[in-house]
A and B are shown apart, each in its own frame.
Chain A
């Protein structure tokens, strides 16, 4: 699936992560930029979680920027799922 609109989720608070998504032109694939205060220790698993989530939603033609302040895996997954659904304009049960 391809993002329809630019979207974000999460915060810059400690133990949280903020994701920004924007659509890219057709056949651009994925452009991923990850930043984390714990990149040296957990960068590999952070990247793995992001890739798995993007695969799960079959996302392509996407520019994703993440700024992490030590979020745990369930938080990373929740924030990215929210950002993806918002970018697909598929969020439910919320005001936009």
Chain B
């Protein structure tokens, strides 16, 4: 896992709304996602870009990771977005509708040229590739695995269903294959994988159900569109006290046994080996607990 960060929630904030941007950090989301793409009207792209540029410089987002979703380079807006945002070096650039490794190469070339002009390193700001077309789903492993700057991939459910000419349904049936394919590509690449938004902000039970499913199949977090959704997603993605206690016990026993030259041992009659230990260490990282 590269530079472990908790990314249970990524809160979308429209890039042309100053009130929402200046309050973005107070809700406790793990990541703030300032959106210059779908949340901004086509004739307000210049206004949003300038506002986000100014606000990033001075706004305290507390402990949240700050990401900016730029427009795709095939639009008239993408290049101008990168010119304004890359010099600010947010934690990450989220790139929409990523369909191939060639697109990532083009994106990285442009980003690195801008960074060179401003004397900035090439290894600080990361890239989150959004997979939201059928072509992107088909190419996702090559997108996720070949670039050290990509440290998360995400699925865009609404755009994907539109690209597939199907209707998004609450059971997520139409995008289930895509979800699992994207997860497997992320796991094979040892990077984070973030689930799509749950669009009905008034349906807390539906959000919880979908988030529990997302966690069960392997997502590391979920995008949210309203601060009201943060607590539910955090509850689902945060290990329970019992899970943390058990993981702590496993890791502690593992270290003691390793020191004695024992690789496989038993706790409460159950065999503990390397995969169980790795899982326990992941749980402790999520809970921000260290074994003393």
A-to-B contact residues, CB < 8 Å: 9-10, 13-16, 71-75, 77-79, 81-82, 85-86, 91-96
Contact = CB atoms under 8 A, between A and B. Distances in A.
A10 B81 CA distance: 19
A94 B42 contact: yes
Interface stretch (B16-24, B108-116, B175-183, B239-247): B16-24
Nearest to B58: A74
27 contacts: A13-B18, A13-B19, A15-B18, A15-B19, A72-B18, A74-B51, A74-B54, A74-B55, A74-B57, A75-B55, A77-B54, A78-B18, A78-B50, A78-B54, A79-B51, A82-B46, A82-B50, A85-B46, A92-B46, A93-B49, A93-B78, A93-B79, A93-B80, A94-B46, A94-B80, A95-B42, A95-B45
Given A16-B19, A74-B57, A74-B58, A79 B47 contact: yes
Given A15-B18, A15-B22, A86 B46 contact: yes
Contact of B76 (A79, A81, A95): A95
Given A75-B51, A79-B47, A94 B77 contact: yes
A27 to B, nearest CB: 30
A48 to B, nearest CB: 17
Contacts of A85: 46
Contacts of A16: 17-19
Interface residues of B, number: 25
B51 A78 contact: yes
A73 B18 CA distance: 11
B65 to A, nearest CB: 20
A21 to B, nearest CB: 14
Contacts of A71: 18
Contacts of B17: 13, 16
Pick the 10 closest A-B CB pairs, nearest first. A93-B80, A74-B54, A15-B19, A94-B45, A94-B46, A78-B51, A75-B18, A95-B42, A78-B54, A78-B50
B291 to A, nearest CB: 43
Interface string B144-155: 000000000000
Residue among A16, A73, A75 with most chain B CB within 10 A: A75
A16 B22 CA distance: 11
A78 B17 CA distance: 12
Nearest to A96: B43
Nearest to B40: A94
A75 B18 CA distance: 7
Contact of A93 (B51, B55, B58, B76): B76
A10 B47 CA distance: 8
Given A74-B57, A77-B54, A79-B51, A93 B46 contact: yes
Contacts of B258: none
A94 B55 contact: no
Contacts of A15: 18-19, 22
B104 to A, nearest CB: 21
A81 B45 CA distance: 13
B19 A9 contact: no
Contacts of A13: 17-19
A94 B22 contact: no
A95 B54 CA distance: 21
A10 B49 CA distance: 13
Contacts of A95: 42-43, 45, 76
B238 interface: no
A14 B49 CA distance: 19
Contacts of A9: 47
B19 A91 contact: no
